[in-house]
Chains A and B, each alone.
Chain A
Amino acid sequence: MTEGELWAPLTLEYPFTRTTGPVIGAFLTGLREGVLCGIRRPDGSVLVPPVEYDPETAEPLAEMVPVADTGEVVTWTWTSEARDHQPWDRPFAWAMVKLDGADTPLLHAVLVDDPSQMRTGMRVRARWRDEREGHVRDIEGFVPEPPS
């Protein structure tokens, strides 16, 4: 701080709560139970994570479908140093993971030590936290399957 510079603390807040509803709420409840869910579209395809309305027709969607906690890396990038707020404190890969039984990929981390362990198409499995609270971070990340 240089002389004459003015400082004041500022905390950005979002001081109200929302209900998550029957679709997002069901997904988050599933996470607490260690189960991943998607939602079925009229054409039979399964969106993971589930959305409340069809992305093309805006028709309400309701049929929740359990999917596997294993899947395939569709694309990835390497983070050599975790950034502020990110849930990991060591290098990791971001990836879009298409779970078995799902038709769309979700964003999460793949926890490996080095980018040389990453490739598109690799198989991964969710690593669940022991204590879960119905939050996307109940999955600590994905790890290669079988573990390398």
Chain B
Amino acid sequence: MRPVAVVSTAQRQEPELSGLTEVELMAPLIEKARSAVGLTQADIGFTCSGSSDFLAGQAFSFVMTLDAVGPVPPIAESHVEMDGAWALYEAWVKLQIGEIDTALVYSYGKSSPGSIRDVLATQLDPYYVAPLWPDSWALGALQARVLLEGGVVSERRMAEIAARSQSHAAGNANAVRAGTPTVDDLLDTAFVADPLRPHDCAATADGGVAVVLAADDRAGDLSDRPAWIRGIDHRIDAHHFGVRDLVAAPSAALAARHAGLGSDRVDIAELHSPFTTSEHLLTDALGLDEAAVTINPSGGALAGDTLMASGLMRIAEVADRISAGTADRGVAHASSGPWLQQNLVCVMGAD
């Protein structure tokens, strides 16, 4: 495989950014990520974005956001209707072909104008499930009960995961839920979707993220310490509810294996967990030893979850720490679906 690295990132996440257009949100982030490594759009070989027409409320909404990139003169560009982590995967594939040496990847989401936990029902099976409009917290709760009653997780363990996320998030200006609650305080709150409490559900946010990739020597020219992508893979579960064993995250485990996670140690892991229960499952599926790996040093998606951007933000968080020298190796994870139906795993290292 051709070595490809993250050389620059920029992100912003807040509880609500409804006063900004997507262009107003993304233009400063894209400019910041490019200029940090001295590039202009003319130096970028390929541009790929991730966003949701459904959130934007119109078809081909990503075309409008290209104004934030500056697409004149014409650029080579693509888009995925998925989290930006999958846009990064497309750019990584493009870089493997060897025709280009740099790529810009960005993604964004603004779910605050609607009710995201209801809107997410529209991505479910259109005949059997979506007509019932199950909200994402209810679906998360159905899995949580299976895990609790099966002895796979405990309510205390779930609260410990939430407390860890919130205390790590205290150092992250882009986190929207941070603090130092005690586990007992958290367990003292009422259910929002029995057996889930507020802290068990990721804090929804609006935001965006931009990442610059570079291959081979170009990465070394642009960054003193590039975050090299050592393995990346994505997998999906069977389409239908009910055919899947809810006590595991099989497609996450498969993606981790194919990304080469486990072949060497990692110092940090950034996980895209929609619920504390998902984080427990991911820790197991990715084979992470919590005594040796710092899980979610940024707070992770539990501390701020922007639809379409959370996964790419996880990659940016790992890359930033590797480039800053506070970690040598790390793993970033992106997902889609309340039951972790779709997963991407990206292993990164300083060498």
Check if B60 is an interface residue, CB within 8 A of chain A.
Answer: no
Check if A117 is an interface residue, CB within 8 A of chain B.
Answer: no
Distance between B142 CB and nearest chain A CB, rounded to angstroms = 5
The 8 listed contacts between A and B (C-beta, < 8 Å) are A48-B242, A77-B145, A77-B194, A78-B191, A83-B133, A96-B242, A107-B128, A136-B132
Docked complex: A65-85 residues within 8 A CB-CB of B: 74-79, 83-85
B238 touches A85 (CB 8 A): no
- Give the complex CA separation of A28 and B191 in angstroms: 35
Q: Which residues of A have CB within 8 Å of B143? A: 75
A51-B239, A78-B194, A85-B118 given as contacts; is B127 within 8 A of A107 (CB)? no
Docked complex: B141-198 residues within 8 A CB-CB of A: 141-146, 149, 191, 193-196
B240 touches A51 (CB 8 A): yes
A55 touches B238 (CB 8 A): yes
- Give the complex CA separation of A78 and B138 in angstroms: 8
A-B pairs under 8 A by CB, number: 100
Chain A binding site: helix, strand, loop or mixed by DSSP? Answer: mixed
B118 touches A83 (CB 8 A): yes
Other-chain residue from B131, B138, B238 in contact with A77 (beta carbon distance below 8 A): B138
A86 touches B132 (CB 8 A): yes
- Of all chain A residues, the one with the shortest Cβ separation from B127 is A24
Distance between B250 CB and nearest chain A CB, rounded to angstroms = 11
Check if A60 is an interface residue, CB within 8 A of chain B.
Answer: no
Other-chain residue from B118, B144, B196, B242 in contact with A84 (beta carbon distance below 8 A): B118
B149 touches A120 (CB 8 A): yes
B241 touches A96 (CB 8 A): yes
Q: Which residues of A have CB within 8 Å of B242? A: 47-49, 96, 104-107
Distance between A142 CB and nearest chain B CB, rounded to angstroms = 12
- Give the complex CA separation of A100 and B66 in angstroms: 53
Number of B residues near A (Cβ < 8 Å) is 34
A77-B194, A107-B134, A137-B131 given as contacts; is B243 within 8 A of A51 (CB)? yes
B115 touches A87 (CB 8 A): no
B241 touches A94 (CB 8 A): no
A20-B127, A106-B128 given as contacts; is B246 within 8 A of A75 (CB)? yes
Docked complex: A104-124 residues within 8 A CB-CB of B: 104-109, 115, 120
- Give the complex CA separation of A78 and B135 in angstroms: 12
Distance between A85 CB and nearest chain B CB, rounded to angstroms = 4
Check if A12 is an interface residue, CB within 8 A of chain B.
Answer: yes
Distance between B273 CB and nearest chain A CB, rounded to angstroms = 18
Other-chain residue from B54, B131, B142 in contact with A96 (beta carbon distance below 8 A): B142
Distance between B111 CB and nearest chain A CB, rounded to angstroms = 15
- 10 more A-B contacts (CB under 8 A) besides A55-B238, A77-B142? A24-B128, A75-B142, A77-B196, A84-B115, A85-B118, A94-B138, A105-B241, A107-B241, A109-B132, A135-B131
- Give the complex CA separation of A109 and B134 in angstroms: 10
Check if A56 is an interface residue, CB within 8 A of chain B.
Answer: yes
Query: Which of B118, B127, B143, B191 has the most CB atoms of chain A within a 10 A radius of its CB?
Result: B127
Check if A10 is an interface residue, CB within 8 A of chain B.
Answer: yes
Check if B129 is an interface residue, CB within 8 A of chain A.
Answer: yes
Q: Which residues of B have CB within 8 Å of A51? A: 239-240, 243
Q: Which residues of A have CB within 8 Å of B118? A: 83-85
Q: Which residues of A have CB within 8 Å of B139? A: 94
Q: Which residues of B have CB within 8 Å of A83? A: 115, 118, 133, 135
- Give the complex CA separation of A94 and B140 in angstroms: 11
Check if B38 is an interface residue, CB within 8 A of chain A.
Answer: no
Q: Which residues of B have CB within 8 Å of A76? A: 142, 145
A20-B127, A83-B118, A107-B241 given as contacts; is B141 within 8 A of A77 (CB)? yes
Check if B57 is an interface residue, CB within 8 A of chain A.
Answer: yes
A75-B145, A83-B118, A137-B132 given as contacts; is B238 within 8 A of A56 (CB)? yes
Q: Which residues of A have CB within 8 Å of B131? A: 87, 135-137
- Of all chain B residues, the one with the shortest Cβ separation from A11 is B57
Distance between B341 CB and nearest chain A CB, rounded to angstroms = 12
